[in-house]
Chain A
Amino acid sequence: MAEQRRKPSESSSLSESSASGAVHVDGLTKQYDDVVAVSDLDLHVEPGELLVLLGPSGCGKTTTLRSIAGLEHVTDGTIHFDDEDVTRQAPQRRDVAMVFQSYALYPHKTVRGNLQFPLRKTDISGTEATERVEEIAELLEMETHLDTRPAQLSGGQRQRVAVGRALVRQPHLLCMDEPLSNLDAKLRVETRSELRQLQQRLGITTIYVTHDQEEAMSIADRIAVMNDGRIEQVGTPEDVYERPANEFVASFVGDPPMNFCDPDDVQAAGIETPQSAAGSPDTIGIRPEYIYPTDSRGEPAAGDRVEVDRPSDPVVLTVELIEPVGRAYEIQLTGHGLDLVARLRTRPDDVTEGDSSEFVFDLDRLTTFNDAGEVV
């Protein structure tokens, strides 16, 4: 992951600052009257990393971001940028740039004027400022639009200018609060990969808030999954998806979400349930993509380049519904007290709605939870 980040090229004046950029949050608590928005939160962001704060609305992710940016007074805890304690510093002295959901561009200024604006308060001026603006415009592929006003730009272009305006000052930290939610679905997918590539090229430490798990997975170096003012898990997208720490993370990350079953039903279906020293599990989770139909020989029909590590015995389930969702099919299955969704890459042969059919589970992919919802 670290080696994916490309080192800044020497010629560019825009990317000298990537040696530093760590953020350390310790014991952060934020209380509004008697509502605790964030409680005792620890978070460490590596220099040059893109960390996503992911969670449902009201989980405290935006409050955390705003506290780090200095837009909220923290009730308790400390925030350090590298070794400097910035907990009590005003936002304008913290060297943070922020990109909001609404682009907040100056409508009467051109793209150039917007990009140049943050430099006014710095000692960068004249030709150096011009150069820097042109350089950032080139990075954003907006160099032909420098003299256009925001009203004439598309939503995606406006968002890029907003990001450019945040980056032109080369801040210690870039904060983004749901920056793509005003764009339509198609543009969102395109813009997020552009944003990610830009961030990697500049190597700028970034904290990114979103409630969209797909967006989080696609752009993050690491994801901090939040709920109820606490961090449930921090890890790479793979960690969070494949090794969730608890039931909340497992249910929040993944589309369609993980199936949760009663171990008794699983056993009744003839699938061996994993046993551990801690006793029998309270809930068993299985991701929809690890349920496979069987082919004519009774083997799991997993499709190209997918391996089933430890297939279970075939289980007969009733196919309630086959939903095409574009690049995959979501299949609702019932039987033995189970109620499951399977995700298949191709329409399965010989499987029709209303009929019963054989399915196989990948036993190595079962996740077990104890009664506290933690992974055993």
Chain B
Amino acid sequence: MASTTFMRERIERIDPRRREVLLGYLLVLPSLLLIGGVILYPLIYNVYLGFTEVPLNPDQSPVWIGLENYETLVNSDRFWEATYNTVVFTVASALLATALGLAVALLFDRAFRGRRLARGLVLLPHVTPIIAVAFAWQFMLDPLWGNLPDFLAWLGIYESDVGLLQSRDHALQMAILFDVWRNFPFAFLLFIARLQAIPQSMYEAATIDGAGRFAQFKDIILPELKGTILIAILLRFVWEFNAFEPVWLLTRNLETLPIYAYKSAFSTYNQGLGAAIAVMLFLFQLVMVAVYMRFVGEDEL
């Protein structure tokens, strides 16, 4: 009791402004420690692993082999194909999901009966457990029982003798389609919030000025949403590049970089190579984050 009073007196003698600054440091200290331990340590360890060959025997230490893992990667067709798949998947699904999100948000930016319920339904693809929807999609795309291949065949754009998820080309398209369907609600949410912050009177002023619907979209909505669109695309880039489960759960016939890394590390037990792939993914992410910070700034992160 006596010591707490003593402490209290000492604390109170410090100038209140300095007291506040000290308190501030004290409060962020735990999170700094946490970030250091939980994020930085595994990251650095992973970079280290990328320069080693990890023996199967857990009693042996990893062997330093320098850039050998990276040389193997650069010289293998498999790596380049995975990179190609990843880039196509990332760019296509990020752009399409954003575009679809924008279109649906525009559709919802007006009052109608049951809007709240409908908005909830739009979010379903994003919030349903991915394992469930992935199986549902597999079922829909199945060459025997699925209705989508039948439908596409009826339209005459698809020969239904090969499964959509079985051929590599189609698997990539389907993975993109699935991912767009799953993630457009994210963009939708960003856009609907932003759209509703545009005062109605601005459209009214434009109507009086004689601007038609398209002119209003071009001159009011797009400029107002420009920043948000950029953020949505950048964030999706970062996430899609890393995306593992939408591809892996839907089809085993498509290899992107994260899947290649996973297979290397845990199917073929070449953990050093897996780590090297992960490092390359990480470097790409760093670039994207830098671009993001450049455009958006620290405050909105």
- Using CB atoms and an 8 Å cutoff, list the residues of chain A in contact with chain B: 73, 88
Confirm or deny: B294 has a beta carbon within 8 angstroms of a beta carbon on chain A.
no
Bound-state CA distance A17–B16 (Å) is 30
Query: Which residues of chain A have C-beta atoms less than 8 A from B16's C-beta?
Result: 73, 88
Answer whether residue B8 sits at the interface, using C-beta atoms and an 8 A cutoff.
no
Complex Cα distance, B17 from A353, in Å, reads 63
Interface pairs (3), CB distance under 8 Å: A73-B16, A73-B17, A88-B16
Q: How far is the CB of A28 from chain B (nearest CB, A)?
A: 16
Chain B contacts of A73 at CB under 8 A?
16-17
Chain A residues near B17: list those with CB within 8 A: 73
Chain B nearest CB: distance from A77 CB in Å? Answer: 14
Which chain B residues lie closer than 8 Å to A88 at the CB level?
16
Q: Which residue of B lies closest to A75 (CB)?
A: B17
How distant is the Cα of A73 from the Cα of B16 in the complex, in angstroms?
8
- Name the residue on A nearest B16 (C-beta): A88
Interface residues of B, count at CB 8 A: 2
A228 to B16 CA separation, bound complex (whole angstroms): 27
Contacts between the two chains (Cβ within 8 Å), count: 3
Closest CB of chain A to B15's CB: distance in Å?
A: 8
CB distance from A162 to the nearest CB of B (A): 29
* Complex CA–CA separation, A88 to B17 (angstroms): 10
> Which 3 residue pairs across A and B have the least CB separation, nearest first?
A88-B16, A73-B17, A73-B16
Q: Restricting to B1-36, which residues have a CB under 8 Å from any CB of A?
A: 16-17
Q: Which secondary structure dominates where chain B touches chain A?
A: helix
State the CA gap A73–B19 with chains docked (Å).
12
- What CA separation (Å) do A68 and B16 show in the bound complex? 16
Q: Which residue of B lies closest to A88 (CB)?
A: B16
CB distance from A72 to the nearest CB of B (A): 11
What is the distance, in angstroms, from B20's C-beta to the closest C-beta of chain A?
8
With both beta carbons as reference points, the residue of chain A lying nearest to B20 in the complex is identified as: A73
CB contacts under 8 Å to A, within B104-127, are: none
Q: Shortest beta-carbon distance, B54 to chain A, in Å?
A: 54
Shortest Cβ distance from B203 into chain A, in angstroms?
28
Q: Closest B-chain residue to A89, C-beta based?
A: B16
Q: How far is the CA of A300 from the CA of B276 in the complex (A)?
A: 99
CB distance from B16 to the nearest CB of A (A): 5
Q: How far is the CB of A66 from chain B (nearest CB, A)?
A: 15
Whole-angstrom distance between the Cβ of A86 and the nearest chain B Cβ: 12
A337 → B minimal CB distance (Å)? 43
Tell me the minimal C-beta distance from B271 to chain A in angstroms.
53
B4 smallest CB distance to A (angstroms): 18
Nearest CB on A from B233, distance (A): 36
Question: Once bound together, how far apart are the Cα atoms of A73 and B15, in whole Å?
Answer: 11
A299 to B17, CA, bound (A): 67
How far does the alpha carbon of A24 sit from the alpha carbon of B16 in the complex, in Å? 21
Q: Roughly how many angstroms separate A73 CA and B20 CA in the complex, as a whole number?
A: 11
Q: How far is the CA of A73 from the CA of B17 in the complex (A)?
A: 8
Q: Bound state CA distance, A41 and B16, in angstroms?
A: 21
Give the distance to chain A from B139, nearest Cβ to Cβ, in Å: 47
Nearest A residue to B15 by beta-carbon distance? A88
In the complex, what distance in Å separates the CA atom of A88 from the CA atom of B16? 7
B19's nearest neighbour on chain A, judged by CB, is A88
Residue of B nearest to A87 (CB): B16
From residue A45, how far is it (CB to closest CB) to chain B in Å? 24
Within 8 A of A (CB), among B185-211: none
Q: How far is the CA of A73 from the CA of B18 in the complex (A)?
A: 11
Complex-state Cα separation, A192 to B17, whole angstroms: 38
A45 to B118, CA, bound (A): 59
Min Cβ gap B185→A in Å is 31
CA–CA, A116 to B249, complex, Å?
58
- Inter-chain CA distance A88–B11, complex, in Å, is 13
A88 to B12, CA, bound (A): 10
Chain B 263-282 residues near chain A, CB threshold 8 A: none
Q: How far is the CB of B267 from chain A (nearest CB, A)?
A: 57
For residue A335, give the distance in angstroms from its CB to the closest CB of chain B: 44
Distance, CA A297 to CA B16, complexed state (A): 72
CB distance from B50 to the nearest CB of A (A): 47
Q: How far is the CA of A88 from the CA of B19 in the complex (A)?
A: 12
Quote the shortest CB–CB distance from B300 to chain A (angstroms): 23
Quote the shortest CB–CB distance from A90 to chain B (angstroms).
8
